Chains A and B, each alone.
Chain A
Amino acid sequence: MIKKQKNIISYAFDCILGYKMRTMVILITFLIATTMISSVLFVKDGLEKEAEISIEAAPDLTIQFLRGGRLEPIPISYINEISKIEGVEKVVPRIWGYVGISNYVFTIVGIDTSNISPLENFGLESGRFIKEGDRGKIVVGKLLANLLNLKVGDNVIFLNEAIQAKKYQVIGIFSDQTSIYTADMIIMSIEDARDFFNIPNGYASDLCVYINQRYRPSDIAVKMSTIPNLRVLDKDLLLRGYKVAYASRGGIFVTLWSIVLVAVALISLSQMIVVGQQSRFEVGLLKSFGFSTLDIIEVRLIESLVIGFFASSLGMILGYIYSLYLGAPGLIDILLGWYFLPREFRIPVFINWTTVFSIYSVTIFPLLIATVVPAWLNAITDPDIAMRRGIA
């Protein structure tokens, strides 16, 4: 029995090289398809993971002010009302917004400097982080630093929406390691941000609420639902929102890729049919030597498994290299859509076991199906007829 299996496996291996054209066609088409899909999925998983990490560090609740369904600055007087709710530990006002420089849009974040510990590690490449009492000083991300060739100590002038020029001194530049989060950021004190965006005293962009660990943020959020004009976002909500955003982009690609996969499966099927016709005499001979129909199918299945694992594994390795070291040129635009990926940081690539098993299942399974049917049709023919047809 074992010897028989050994012979079948050995014969299947010989067939892989014996039908060179079929092997090459299937290998190349599957390799291209697997490389493309794995590259996009690994990047999508990496971006999702980075977003998850950022959201984990976000405030438990973010409070925004809505009027007519649109966001407006929130009156700081809400802080008192929200602080009174049981379970609320701290409410911090935040001012932030955007500034256009060259063709890019940068995010200015004004932070409350009174809460910052000088001992904390903020991942700066050079200089220092904002501290209490700093006015007219900024910490910038790599994108802006490279765009304007900024160094610590340089002065920079930004124009705000009111076309007023505001001068700041660069006191720190974020490192490459933090670029996925900070590339487009300009950090300044909350007072400077208020001045830059012309936000009147008594207002902020939004409020960050930190909840005591004994309470659930969603329970506190429900208590806030009776306060007029507020929109309360909890971490879980943000996470789901961003996952949907990335999934929609990945979804477009997956749709395109499904079409490619069908084409690849059809190519495999046609190649298997061609091989089936070429191997009629051989199959007839094998059957006359005592091979059963199942043995013939087993031979073809072993061939397909070997070719499938070869192409899928190599494709995923190439997809990983293509994303991590080359930045997935061409494909990343489809995934990110109108988004822009600065060159200042490496694309995050995360390989998920689920993704790998999914890719294996959607590549190898259709290949096995495409193999079994022609092999079975070939194998059920009477050996004598098969050999006569093969010679003809």
Chain B
Amino acid sequence: MKKSRIIPIMSIIFTLLLILIIIINQVQWQNHEYYYELRRTIGLPSIAIGTNYEGTRNPLLDIFVRALYDVPGGHDYVVSSSFIDTPLKLKDFFERIPGFNMTVMREGK
């Protein structure tokens, strides 16, 4: 085989390998044991990634507020500083979510 064919062949192999990894990953997620009964019994939303920060397991509002403690004005400050870049492009950001001050919009918009 010519040396010059190595990179093109490798690029096809890597692309096929990536597709295989994606398929395997998706099948793994489909067959993943979610322990649905456990989650249903406990009923808390979110996941355990915030154990040094006491707002994470709390439904919605305190996700942001508790980060800098609940000082007067802290709510607006934390919420607005939490939204940088892409959320501004998200449809969800503009919908009315109770507790998120920045989502309030004028009627008719």
Give residues of chain A (181-214) contacting chain B, Cβ–Cβ below 8 Å.
Answer: 181-185, 187, 206, 208
Q: How far in angstroms is the closest Cβ of chain A from B31?
A: 12
Q: Chain B, 2-17, contact with A by CB distance < 8 Å: what is the 0/1 string?
A: 1111011011101101
Q: Which residue of A lies closest to B35 (CB)?
A: A123
Kindly identify which residue among A103, A105, A233 contacts B54, using a CB–CB cutoff of 8 Å.
Answer: A105
Interface residue from B45, B49, B97 paired with A47 (Cβ < 8 Å) = B49
Contacts of A307 in B (CB 8 A): 7, 11
Residue contact B41 to A120, C-beta cutoff 8 Å: yes
Which of A122, A143, A310, A339 is within 8 Å of B7, CB to CB? Answer: A310
> Chain B contacts of A122 at CB under 8 A?
35, 37-38, 41
Secondary structure of the A contact surface, majority rule: helix
B interface footprint on A226-256 (CB within 8 Å = 1, 0 otherwise): 0000010100011011111101101110110
| CB-defined contacts of A16 to chain B, threshold 8 Å | 4, 7-8
Decide yes or no: A340 and B99 within 8 Å by CB, A182-B38, A238-B59 being known contacts.
Answer: no
Q: Which residues of B contact A240 (CB under 8 A)?
A: 92, 95, 97
Interface bin, chain A: 35 or more
Q: Are A57 and B33 in contact (CB under 8 A)?
A: no
A257 to B73 alpha-carbon distance, docked (Å): 32
B48 beta carbon closer than 8 Å to chain A: yes
Question: Cα distance A123–B64 when bound, in Å?
Answer: 30
Interchain nearest-CB distance for A197 vs B (Å): 13
Chain A residues 112-147 with CB under 8 Å of chain B are: 115-116, 120-123, 141, 143
Contact A179 B48 (CB under 8 A): yes
Tell me whether A51 and B46 are in contact (CB under 8 A). Answer: yes
How far is the CB of B10 from the nearest CB of chain A, in Å? 6
Are B54 and A98 touching (Cβ within 8 A)? Answer: yes
Interface-lining segment among A263-271, A282-290, A311-319: A311-319
Residues of chain A touching chain B, judged by Cβ–Cβ distance below 8 Å, are 10, 13-14, 16-17, 23, 47, 49-51, 53-59, 62, 64, 69-71, 92, 94, 96, 98, 103-107, 109, 111, 115-116, 120-123, 141, 143, 177-185, 187, 206, 208, 231, 233, 237-238, 240-245, 247-248, 250-252, 254-255, 306-307, 309-310, 313-314, 316-317, 320, 336, 338-342, 345, 349-351, 353, 356
